[in-house]
């Protein structure tokens, strides 16, 4: 059977997401800075799914409570891993870093993914004293699907409906700042990447976005923007043909309108990721952002 032109375009977009997900599935382990210990596969939901694990990187000689940066991986919500965490170099600057896995769309549909992310934040707060973490200074950083999830963390600190039942419900899942790398912000406007069965967005919410508008709305960070949202640094490639740069434009504008600090950094010549995101200037930009919002946690 021959594919129609529209069907071929939809298939091409889907395969692009899948290829990206596969490429992120087994990234190279990060090089540990000297004097950093890593605690692997810590279970953050007691009796939970096998994906409810995180790795924690802690400077061994740091004094006092450590501000924490939590990395959330991408992979179209259907692949990816906590390995290859790009935030690990921050441990040389006096931060602790956590990198989490979460249930993928083949395991459970939304809101399972954000429930897991929130459960991880609550677990880290509940165990802050044990690991010398500062529970009042937690930032998050994620790419693609992970960018979507950190944006949700930054906008849904008070949304009890998205907390789930992953334990430590006496703790807050609110975060103090967000670095969002090219994450979708409005799933209803992702077009062919959301409106056909089997596409990543459709798999995430349980069906095509235009047939499940309320589910798409509930899964969109844009829905929850308020004056209580965390400060954001958003970075997006101007050549991104998987998540359109407009997804970051509308999120940044919504945050500005309610008076939330936001910086949108366009990475010229880059697509859905690329070397520009890890340029020395952009790495310094990210580090300065975390310093501004988390550094006073160092005690």
Only one residue has tokens 């089997």, namely 198
How many Å apart are CA 155 and CA 167, to the nearest integer? 21
Of 110, 107, 126, 98, the residue nearest 51 (C-alpha) = 107
The parent domain of residue 51 ranges over 5-27+35-297
Report which of residues 65 and 19 the model is more confident about.
65
Percent of the chain with pLDDT over 90: 84
pLDDT tens-digit series, residues 72-106: 999 999 999 999 999 999 999 999 999 999 999 99
19 pLDDT more than 60: no
Distances (CA, A) of 35 to 39, 89, 100, 132, 213: 13, 12, 22, 15, 49
231 pLDDT more than 60: yes
Instruction: Find out whether 217 and 201 touch, Cβ atoms under 8 Å.
Output: no
How many Å apart are CA 190 and CA 8, to the nearest integer? 17
pLDDT of 15 reads: 46
How many Å apart are CA 72 and CA 234, to the nearest integer? 15
Distances (CA, A) of 174 to 135, 178, 228: 10, 11, 10
Number of domains making up the chain:
1
166 pLDDT more than 90: yes
Band of pLDDT at residue 186, cut at 50, 70 and 90: very high
Residue spans of alpha helices (H) in 157-265: 200-205, 213-218, 246-257
How many Å apart are CA 230 and CA 176, to the nearest integer? 6
245 pLDDT more than 50: yes
How many Å apart are CA 164 and CA 33, to the nearest integer? 35
Return the number of other C-beta atoms located less than 10 Å from residue 299's C-beta: 10
**Domain CATH number, residue 186:** 3.40.50.1820
Band of pLDDT at residue 191, cut at 50, 70 and 90: confident
pLDDT tens-digit series, residues 123-133: 999 999 999 99
CA count, 13 A, side-chain hemisphere, 265: 20
């Amino acid at each position: 059977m021959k594919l129609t032109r529209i069907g071929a375009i939809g298939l091409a977009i889907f395969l692009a997401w899948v290829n990206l997900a596969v490429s992120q599935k087994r990234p190279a382990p990060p090089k540990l800075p000297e004097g950093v210990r890593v605690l692997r596969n810590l279970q953050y939901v007691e009796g939970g799914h096998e994906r409810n694990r995180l790795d924690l990187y802690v400077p061994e000689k740091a004094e006092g409570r450590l501000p924490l940066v939590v990395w959330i991986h991408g992979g179209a919500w259907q692949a990816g891993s906590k390995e290859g965490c790009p935030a690990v170099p921050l441990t040389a600057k006096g931060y602790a870093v956590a990198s989490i896995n979460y249930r993928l769309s083949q395991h459970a549909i939304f809101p399972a993914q954000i429930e897991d992310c929130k459960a991880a934040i609550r677990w880290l707060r509940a165990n802050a004293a044990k690991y010398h973490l500062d529970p009042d200074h937690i930032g998050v950083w994620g790419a693609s699907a992970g960018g979507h999830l950190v944006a949700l963390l930054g906008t849904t600190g008070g949304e009890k409906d998205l907390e789930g039942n992953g334990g430590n419900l006496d703790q807050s899942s609110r975060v103090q700042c967000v670095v969002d790398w090219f994450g979708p912000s409005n799933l209803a406007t992702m077009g062919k990447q959301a409106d056909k069965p089997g596409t990543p967005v459709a798999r995430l919410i349980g069906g095509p976005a235009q047939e499940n508008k309320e589910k798409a709305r509930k899964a969109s960070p844009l829905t929850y923007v308020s004056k209580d949202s965390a400060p954001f640094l958003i970075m997006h490639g101007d050549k991104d043909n998987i998540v359109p740069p407009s997804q970051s434009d509308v999120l940044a504008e919504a945050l500005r309108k309610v008076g939330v600090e936001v910086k949108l950094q366009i990475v010229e010549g880059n697509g859905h990721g690329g070397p520009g995101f890890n340029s020395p200037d952009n790495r310094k930009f990210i580090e300065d952002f975390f310093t501004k919002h988390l550094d006073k946690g160092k005690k």
